[in-house]
Structure 1
């Protein structure tokens, strides 16, 4: 999640009441979602991780002190690529198989060079043992960023503009736009049980636009489908054009559409392709079996009656 704390003064004013005014009264029943009508691959499946090296991946590191990431008074330059990153990102073996190891102590990302569009991406992740300041007492945090564009470090000196498939303990699959010019639309319901942002994805919810720095910036996943710490989780990301679906361990948890970038003149340009980033943001994380295959349409999300 690209936010340790609200980065702008306006975020301090985001309250329970504001969220409720946006989404209305909370639904009476929890929505249970299933994924149906899966698309057939339109081409060959390709591995983005060769199991031996970080070939095809480029590292970038933010500030030496991650606590400076959201500080308006930051004067130091990000680390970028100015130091050896082999102690930040590496290929190591775990559970008898190779995986990409991300230390998490210094914030940043690994960006794959491929410019991707209309695809089904699948990967597995699990948490490591270590967590780091300034997030050592907060939920473990990382992220899969997609439709990446722009310059390295353009967002908070640490990431590139993109859309986020959140990987955070208790919130895997949550959606956030990364960067002030990135936009998307989705449907939400008010959930008073959430500490923040009080808004959760719901298929029959109110339509909202998400943007960085707004009350609708982060939209919580429809449900928590993550497995216990120490177990592997499978994430599926389906993207066709400016429309995406997030799936966690086979459970659809978020759907966003009208992905776009707002130009300096206010024009809206659909965002339909880009690279992916694997974040480093305070928690040791392992990634493996990263594959992608082309698709021509999205699966469908269907709400079913809750279990008695």
Structure 2
């Protein structure tokens, strides 16, 4: 091939590559293999009575699940993770993650237990999980919570010292609701806003139907998305440790058992080097 033709061919290759849509599907890493709980630990807190009081105060502990709270079961031709909710606790990734996009699907079961019996079904996606087991209510590590609760999926809770700055408006004497144009407020155990911020809007499907959650984390910012709708953007994720505010930008992932039966599937994660601008500019 003549040099000029070779140069033209190479330029054409470069142009084709440059304008070929970039597929991110190859970069998803499954966190659930569809067979068992490989890659996850389990932790179960103390047995509770119907009023939520510890019966003995002794946790069931790490990778000890006598009641089979966490199992893999068949559902319409595929295996899914079942969390019974009978004990408070979580499955926890063995690995830590930072700067990622996590996606999963969940749906509610029919059972509820103890102080949650007959009430809104409750669970949670806890991210940036660090520190000791059972730091929050004897059942969960310190973390930021992407709330999973009937009617409230997408809310924020700071667990055992987790903190964040969130733009919000005051809804009542004790409640604040996310507003991207609101005042940037600190949500923590010690702030007057407390450690809970209510999401904006509602996107959860009816009970028993699958919902898709997307969690974006990059640097000290995170975004909660439910069924494609942004519920909240959190800034300055951090943790309180002995009176000091320290960064909280990476950690393990916990999926809660909190008194209600639910199912998870299609849990996957991929690294990101920035947050989607369209999700921040609402």
- Mark yes or no: TM-score above 0.5: yes
Q: CA deviation at 1:244?
A: 0.1
Partner of 2:111: 130
Q: CA deviation at 1:207?
A: 1.3
Deviations 1:183-238 (A, max 9, x none): 1100111235xxx9521111011111011264332111101110000100000000
Partner of 1:261: 239
Partner of 2:9: none
Task: Compute the TM-score of the two structures, normalised by the length of structure 2.
Answer: 0.85
- Give the match's secondary structure for 1:237: strand
Structure 2 CA distance, aligned partners of 1:149 and 1:279?
15
Deviations 1:113-150 (A, max 9, x none): 11100000000000011111211132110000000000
Structure 1 CA distance, aligned partners of 2:189 and 2:65?
32
Query: Mapping of 1:86-235 within 5 angstroms?
Result: 87-179=68-160, 181-192=161-172, 197-212=174-189, 214=191, 215-235=193-213
Structure 2 CA distance, aligned partners of 1:235 and 1:302?
19
Q: Taking structure 1 as reference, are residues 252 and 263 closer, same or farther at Cα in structure 2, changes over 3 Å only? A: same
Partner of 1:242: 220
Structure 2 CA distance, aligned partners of 1:242 and 1:85?
38
Contact 2:128 2:251 in 1 (8 A): yes
Q: Taking structure 1 as reference, are residues 239 and 129 closer, same or farther at Cα in structure 2, changes over 3 Å only? A: same
Task: Please provide the CA RMSD for this pair.
Answer: 2.2
Task: Compute the TM-score of the two structures, normalised by the length of structure 1.
Answer: 0.78
**Greater relative contact order, per chain length (Cα 8 Å cut-off, separation 6+):** 1
| Higher-helix-fraction structure | 2
| Higher-strand-fraction structure | 2
Deviations 1:137-178 (A, max 9, x none): 321100000000001112221100000000000000101110
Matched, 1:56 2:39: yes
Say which one has the larger Rg: 2
Structure 2 CA distance, aligned partners of 1:82 and 1:293?
26
Contact 1:42 1:295 in 2 (8 A): no
Q: Taking structure 1 as reference, are residues 182 and 84 closer, same or farther at Cα in structure 2, changes over 3 Å only? A: closer
Contact 1:42 1:293 in 2 (8 A): no
Instruction: In structure 2, list runs of 5 or more residues that go unmatched.
Output: 1-21
Q: Taking structure 1 as reference, are residues 140 and 130 closer, same or farther at Cα in structure 2, changes over 3 Å only? A: same
- Give the match's secondary structure for 2:59: coil
Instruction: In structure 1, list runs of 5 or more residues that go unmatched.
Output: 1-38, 304-308
Q: CA deviation at 1:40?
A: 8.1
Structure 2 CA distance, aligned partners of 1:42 and 1:125?
21
Contact 2:42 2:65 in 1 (8 A): no
- Give the match's secondary structure for 2:92: strand
Structure 2 CA distance, aligned partners of 1:115 and 1:83?
21
